[in-house]
């Protein structure tokens, strides 16, 4: 059966390109190991990789919300810190969006309420229509990941977005006139974003700047009090490059009005990192995250690093929110071609050696039929191989794992599974990569000193052999 992807697509992903990817995977994702076992010379040693150092992730926003216990269990089986049947992911992005996390001032949704239970969601409710759909309380997700040995990534601590992040109760502290200008799309009037900031600030209640900063600080302090030592990494500030580019991150200002019409501390991105550095331990991985894959994002990150901000990870988003984009890719478009992907990541990367987290990716199946699912699977396989081959890449996170579970305007066919949790071709494509092609399993022999040498994908390993008496022995090592 002919491929639904055109010859022009395969011209972009040609044999030379695939060979380059293979060589870079060998160079950047593998390492040589020498392990002194004290095994008898010539003893046969089984070498088995049990976990990846690279983080393959997905968000876990549908936790217990898929409509049946069976579906929820299949969904949870996707995560495991070690190799397990059916598992793809050793990392989970956990939701900490401010508006649903603190729907009432001072009442944060760490622990589940009755409306967060699996039984409540199994009663025919559509997560897309419920106020806490895709936004489960944090504690059940964190405990689940702790039990499975899964990396826990919190998203986001600070974001200047009024649709998904900024709480209504904080917005309600503004005068009605200011609110009307912020929330009304009146093209005949001068946008509040275009008015002189000093003029707008004079119209705000004098106590409002302290209320904004105080509310945001209390949020971060409460999250840190519970999770400072339990979470592994955080998106400290999300999608601020546009505000940085347009002078809306204002050091020393009491407030600034973001592109998303949210009132924030003046230089809110640096403010967020200073607070995170104060509240979280040194081992916590702090990330900046953005959809801007250009020099603006790189320049902003470099400036913050030069000023002493602890940026351990640079998050980059690569969404395809229109299924027609995958049709264009299949027809041979330059979109998401190897050259374009390499160019965008290089342009946005602040400096060599700074780890990259491909923090949000969306790849839809155009048409939602078998043909579209095959297109999705081929595109996903090639992109994962390319991303995995890049030297500073440390993690890749698929955004919506289940169809019909995205946010409004996100494609309904971008999951690895149908809504009933039956797998699509893209799941099998990633499963073959992560659990087969990129997993090292081999048998070798101990040398005269009782050591073994091998080359494998970076991660944790179990080595098994028999000693001189014939007793089974095992050891573990990191590569």
Residue 374 belongs to a domain: yes
Per the domain annotation, does 336 fall within a domain? yes
Among 278, 156, 273, CA closest to 224: 278
Asked if the structure places residue 248 within a domain, the reply is yes
- Cα dihedral across residues 395, 345, 362, 61: positive or negative: positive
CA separation for the pair 235, 272 (Å, rounded)? 10
pLDDT of residue 187: 46
Give the residue-averaged pLDDT of 114-128.
92
C-alpha of 271 from chain center: 22
Q: What is the pLDDT of residue 285?
A: 98
Average pLDDT over residues 275-284: 98
Identify the CA nearest to 255 among candidates 316, 213, 295: 213
Residue 341, SS3?
helix
Asked whether residue 9 is assigned to any structural domain, the reply reads no
For 323, phi then psi, to 5°, come to -55, -25
In the chain, the number of structural domains is: 1
Model confidence band, residue 128 (pLDDT cutoffs 50, 70, 90): confident
The model's pLDDT over 318-376, given as tens digits with 9 standing for 90+, comes to 999 999 999 999 999 999 999 999 999 999 999 999 999 999 999 999 999 999 999 99
Q: What is the pLDDT of residue 189?
A: 55
Cα separation, 467 vs 142, whole angstroms? 41
For residue 188, pLDDT over 80 is answered with no
Flag whether 285 is in a domain.
Answer: yes
Residue 350 belongs to domain spanning = 54-432
Q: Does residue 339 sit in helix, strand or coil?
A: helix
Average pLDDT, the chain: 95
Say which range, 177-191, 303-317, 377-391, 421-435, has the weakest mean pLDDT.
Answer: 177-191
Distances (CA, A) of 44 to 147, 447, 450, 463: 34, 10, 11, 10
For residue 130, tell me if it sits in a domain: yes
Q: How far apart are CA 402 and CA 410, in angstroms?
A: 12
From 320, 164, 158, 307, select the one nearest 240 (Cα to Cα): 158
Report pLDDT digits (tens) over 49-102. 999 999 999 999 999 999 999 999 999 999 999 999 999 999 999 999 999 999
Give the CA radius of gyration of the chain. Answer: 24
d(CA 402, CA 424): 10
Half-sphere exposure of 28 (CA within 13 A, CB side): 19
For 218-253, the pLDDT digits (tens) are 999 999 999 999 999 999 999 999 999 999 999 999
Residue 178, pLDDT score = 84
Please tell me the predicted confidence (pLDDT) of residue 186.
52
Q: Would residue 352 count as lying in a domain?
A: yes
Structure tokens at 230: 């339990």
- Per-residue confidence (pLDDT) for residue 439, from 0 to 100: 98
Determine, yes or no, domain membership for 363. Answer: yes
CATH number at residue 80: 3.20.20.80
Q: What distance lies between CA 136 and its chain's CA centroid?
A: 17
Report yes or no: 263 and 208 within 8 Å, Cβ to Cβ.
yes
Statement: the pTM of the whole predicted model exceeds 0.85: yes
Is the pLDDT at 176 greater than 80? The verdict is yes
The beta strands (E) that lie in 108-249 are given as: 151-155, 158-159, 233-238
């Amino acid at each position: 059966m002919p491929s639904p992807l055109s010859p022009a697509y395969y011209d972009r992903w040609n044999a030379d390109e695939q060979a380059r990817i293979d060589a870079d995977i060998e160079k950047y994702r593998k390492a040589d190991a020498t392990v002194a076992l004290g095994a008898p010379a010539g003893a046969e040693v089984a070498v088995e990789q049990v976990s990846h150092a690279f983080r393959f992730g997905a968000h876990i926003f549908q936790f217990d919300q898929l409509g049946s216990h069976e579906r929820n269990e299949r969904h949870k089986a996707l995560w495991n810190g070690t190799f397990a049947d059916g598992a793809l992911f050793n990392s989970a992005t956990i939701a900490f969006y401010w508006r649903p996390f603190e729907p009432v001032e001072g009442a944060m949704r760490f622990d589940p309420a009755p409306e967060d239970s699996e039984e409540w969601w199994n009663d025919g409710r559509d997560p897309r229509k419920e106020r806490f759909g895709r936004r489960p309380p944090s504690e059940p997700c964190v405990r689940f990941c702790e039990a499975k040995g899964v990396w826990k990534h919190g998203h986001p601590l600070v974001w200047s977005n009024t649709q998904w992040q900024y709480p209504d109760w904080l917005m309600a502290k503004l005068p009605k006139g200011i609110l009307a200008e912020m929330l009304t799309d009146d093209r005949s009037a001068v946008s509040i974003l275009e008015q002189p900031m000093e003029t707008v600030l004079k119209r705000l209640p004098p106590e409002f700047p302290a209320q904004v900063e105080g509310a945001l600080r209390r949020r971060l302090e409460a999250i840190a009090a519970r999770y400072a030592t339990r979470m592994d990494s955080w998106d400290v500030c999300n999608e601020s490059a546009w505000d940085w580019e347009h002078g809306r991150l204002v050091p020393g200002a009491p407030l600034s009005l973001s592109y998303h019409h949210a009132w924030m501390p003046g230089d809110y991105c640096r403010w967020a990192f200073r607070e995170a550095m104060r509240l979280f331990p040194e081992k916590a991985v702090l990330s900046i995250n953005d959809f801007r894959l250009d020099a603006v994002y790189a320049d902003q990150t470099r400036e913050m690093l030069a000023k002493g901000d602890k940026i351990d990870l640079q998050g980059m988003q690569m969404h395809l929110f229109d299924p027609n984009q995958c049709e264009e890719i299949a027809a041979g478009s330059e979109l998401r071609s190897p050259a374009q992907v390499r160019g965008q990541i290089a342009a946005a990367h602040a400096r060599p050696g700074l780890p990259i987290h491909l923090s949000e990716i969306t790849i839809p199946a155009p048409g939602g039929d078998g043909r579209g699912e095959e297109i999705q699977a081929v595109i996903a396989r090639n992109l994962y191989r390319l991303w995995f081959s890049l030297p500073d890449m440390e993690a890749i996170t698929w955004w919506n794992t289940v169809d019909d579970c995205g946010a409004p305007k996100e494609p309904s066919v971008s999951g690895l599974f149908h809504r009933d949790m039956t797998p699509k071709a893209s799941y099998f494509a990633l499963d073959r990569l992560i659990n087969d092609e990129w997993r090292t399993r081999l048998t070798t022999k101990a040398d005269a000193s009782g050591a073994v040498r091998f080359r494998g994908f970076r991660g944790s390993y179990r080595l098994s052999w028999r000693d001189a008496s014939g007793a089974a022995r095992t050891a573990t090592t990191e590569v």
